[in-house]
Structure 1
Amino acid sequence: MKRQKRDRLERAQSQGYKAGLNGRSSDTCPYQQTDAKSQWLGGWRDAKGDLESGLYK
């Protein structure tokens, strides 16, 4: 069976989350399209919130 590709917006959110955990700035968002950029920044904000709450060290 073929594996189904992940949704591009889900992938953008995941990449933003990883960037936030790694301490990258929100200015480093690689997306120009409004939807994907919004998802990336949402993931980035989620990661920053998780870091502040002590979920990750």
Structure 2
Amino acid sequence: MKRQKRDKLSRAHAKGYQAGISGRAKDNCPFQAVEARSQWLGGWRAAMEDRSLGLVK
């Protein structure tokens, strides 16, 4: 059975979240497309919020 690739936008969000958790700056977004960039930044913001609440070290 073939594995189905995840949606590119959800993948961009997950990558942004991982970047935020690791402490990377939001200026390091690797996406140029508006939709993907927006999702990446949304993930980054969610990670920053989780870090500020102490949910992630």
Number of equivalences: 57
**Structure 2 residue 38 is matched with structure 1 residue 38:** yes
Indicate the RMSD between aligned Cα atoms, in angstroms: 0.3
Distance across 2 between alignment mates of 1:54 and 1:4: 34
Letter in 2 for 1:3: R
- Deviation >4 Å, runs of 4+: none
**Ranges in structure 1 where 5+ consecutive residues have no aligned partner:** none
Percent identity, aligned pairs only?
60
TM-score, normalization by structure 1: 0.98
